[in-house]
Structure 1
Amino acid sequence: MSYVNPSSLVSTEWLSKHASGPDVRIVDASWYMPATKRDPRAEYDEEHIPGAVFFDINDISDTDNSLPHMVPSPEKFSSRMRKLGLGDGNRIVIYDGSGLLSAARAWWMLRLFGHHDVAILDGGLPKWKAEGRPVDDVPVMPAERHFTSRINNFMLREKDQISRNLTTGREQVLDARSPGRFDGTEAEPREGLRSGHIPSSFNLPYNKMFNSTDGTLLPADRLKTLFTETGLDLKQPVITSCGSGISACILAFGLHLLGHNRVSVYDGSWTEWASDETTPVDTRNSHAD
């Protein structure tokens, strides 16, 4: 089988051929967990794919919210995109320095705010560099471009909706964290958070979705098998979750490639859920054999 939405994933070869196209815009959306001590902006300034602008996930967020990198207002998102030269009529290609992690968050945000001509670079910057393709440190000064925000609230879930779903069961919840964090045997990287998962969740660690050789995404048939082996019903709506709303977007991207069009992301994810002492937490995998 093939991806249902193959245009959402582009190869390094494709980008190499089309990078200079008049309507193609390249975006570096690198972000790393604080514990890694990596500075994505500094790394971007040191080297990036020529012409790429930097999408700062921590800045392009609701910075008044105590939770990390929550979705900003449509006005702020439009303003930031305009200044990056990203807007209506652009074919936007996103990559990150991990291969595929935060690029999926930027992809999801652009679609959330109504821009659908957006793709992710398969294998990201690591694959691009491994193939000897060019990088530079030249500052990019984009011309501003109008961005029309049309937020699609069907793609976004908040804590009260997750709470109601515990009773209704209308949507399946798929968690991208590691098995240890999911079942409560491994401590959360954010200090003070309870371990475990939202009751009745399914678990698919996002890093299982990649080829071990080059970090590219698995082909469609293997990707579909991964999702179905969790117990997920691909004909029913899915909410993806993770630690703070980043890797949940990788699951959402994988489901999108397979043609699933009823997928939303729990923006606050485990950081929000586990911080509230009134929310129920499970450490048993109710879907295990």
Structure 2
Amino acid sequence: MIRETEDPNQTVVDFFFLEGLMYTAEHPSLFFLLFLLIYSITVTGNLLILITVGSDPHLCSPMYHFLAHLSFLDACLSTVTVPKVMAGLLTPDGKVISFEGCAIQLYCFHFLASTECFLYTVMAYDRYLAICRPLHYPVAMNRRMCAGLAGITWTMGAVHSALHTCLTFHLLYCGPRHIAYFFCDIPPVLKLACADTTVNELVMLANIGIVAAGCLILIVISYVFIAAAVLRIRTAEGRKRTFSTCTSHLTVVLLYYMPPVCIYLQPRSSGAGVGAPTVFYTIVTPMLNPFIYTLRNTEVKQALRRLLGQGSRDSPAGSLLR
């Protein structure tokens, strides 16, 4: 499983060993069931949102178009990491990942995560147009524009991830194989490189920092204008109803942005013990997003009741969605 290099004293690593999450080794079966439950809820919840938005004619606005993309991204993001974590809990061989598999996992993770970052920015812009430019909104955010913005977010995510994947795996890996993390991410993988990683770390901090900070600044600017527009509404009920369409988006943005700050600002501190922030936004947040958007959105709840055939007010299951 090791390839020889031109230097007879060096070998190139063909596989890595994921150390996993701290404390899970003590009760692997319990944590396996926990992650299985979380993963099942995540996939089911996000696919249900995706199907609901795609099948209900009442959810045809741009906001729900972008929500469908977010649900698909969340389901895929969880799939990139959680099954491998569960495999590692079942058997030691489940923690082994090939060099190529590690590169694919890193690429997919950053592709999906960065696409989400861009999508949150687009969703904030959509809310800005809807609230601050209501008369201009139907023209500015037509179907063609929605498809174009969604396509741009996916393309930018793919390019962004390709850059980091190429830089990370262009380096020589000839020694340690143990990744002190539960999946292949840039900081823990760079620690195993048999080369100077200073340039890689600078590019990572600069690129990810610029992208994340730029998107966050645009989101904040959008909500400053939104807040100003809401405050100009005369009635308290009108202000509450208008701003309620933004609270779900604001909540998921906060859940998305806070954990990565703890990770990428300290690239040399990555390890099994500091995986909690990543667990939150790669495993927990994708599970919470469907609930956040469902519980805070009457239209989605009504569409779910129609989809599930539980429109009756007397239905116990339907009452849970109200």
TM-score after normalising by structure 2: 0.24
Point out the structure with the larger strand share: 1
Point out the structure with the larger helix share: 2
CA radius of gyration, larger in: 2
TM-score after normalising by structure 1: 0.25
